[in-house]
Amino acid sequence: MKTIDDIDFSNKKALIRVDFNVPLNSEFEVTDTNRIEAAKPSILKVLEDGGSAILMSHLGRPKGKVSQDLSLKHICETVSEIIGVEVKFVDDCVGERAEEAVKELENGEVLLLENLRFHAEEEQGDENFAKALSRLGDIYVNDAFGTAHRAHASTTIVAKYFPENKCFGYLLAKEIEAIEKVMRTGEKPITAILGGAKVSSKITIIENILSKVDHLIIGGGMTYTFVKAMGGKVGASICEDDKMQLALEILEKAKKEGVEVHLPVDVLAADSFSNDAQTQTVSVSSIPDNWQGLDAGPETLKIFKEVILASKTILWNGPVGVFEMENFAKGTIAVGNFIEEATKNGAFSLVGGGDSVAAVKQFGFEDKVSYVSTGGGAMLESLEGKTLPGIAAISEA
Q: Is the dihedral of CA 45, 387, 165, 142 positive or negative?
A: negative
> What does DSSP assign to residue 105?
P
Residue 61 in marked binding region? yes
User: Would you give the DSSP letter of residue 274?
Assistant: S
Cβ contacts of residue 121 below 8 Å, gap of 6+? 64, 128, 129, 153
Catalytic residue (choose from 88, 108, 233, 354): 354
Q: Report CA 298 to chain centroid distance, whole Å.
A: 29
Whether 215 has a binding-site annotation, put simply, is no
Is residue 129 a known part of a binding site? no
Please tell me whether 256 is known to bind a ligand.
Answer: no
The reply, when asked if residue 128 is annotated as ligand binding, is: no
Other beta carbons within 10 angstroms of residue 26's beta carbon come to: 6
Residue 255, annotated as binding a ligand: no
Q: Which of 8, 9, 33, 7 is nearest to 19 (CA)?
A: 33
The catalytic position among 2, 97, 160, 198 is 198
**Residue 21 among known ligand-binding residues:** yes
Active site residue 135: no
In the three-class reduction of DSSP (H, G, I as helix; E, B as strand; rest coil), residue 40 is classed as helix
- Residue 51 annotated as catalytic: no
The reply, when asked if residue 184 is annotated as ligand binding, is no
Cα distances from 280 to residues 117, 267, 336, 371, in angstroms, run 50, 8, 23, 35
Which of these, 180, 193, 177, lies nearest to 356 by C-alpha position?
193
Question: Does 60 appear as a known binding residue?
Answer: yes
| 354 is a catalytic site residue | yes
Q: For residue 192, what are the β-bridge partners?
A: 216, 315
- Could you give the 3-state DSSP secondary structure of residue 71? coil
Write down the catalytic residue from 13, 35, 181, 330.
35
Determine if residue 293 is labeled as part of a ligand binding site. Answer: yes
Q: Is 117 annotated as a binding residue?
A: yes
**Of 160, 368, 377, 385, which one is the catalytic site residue?**
377
Please tell me the distance from the alpha carbon of residue 65 to that of residue 119, in angstroms, as a whole number. Answer: 7
Residue 63 annotated among the catalytic residues of the structure: no
CB 215 within 8 A of CB 311: yes
Which residue positions form the known binding site for substrate? 19-21, 35, 58-61, 117, 150
Which residue positions form the known binding site for (2R)-3-phosphoglycerate? 35, 117, 150
Which residue positions form the known binding site for ATP? 202, 293, 324, 353-356
Which residue positions form the known binding site? 19-21, 35, 58-61, 117, 150, 202, 293, 324, 353-356
Residues belonging to the active site: 35, 198, 354, 377
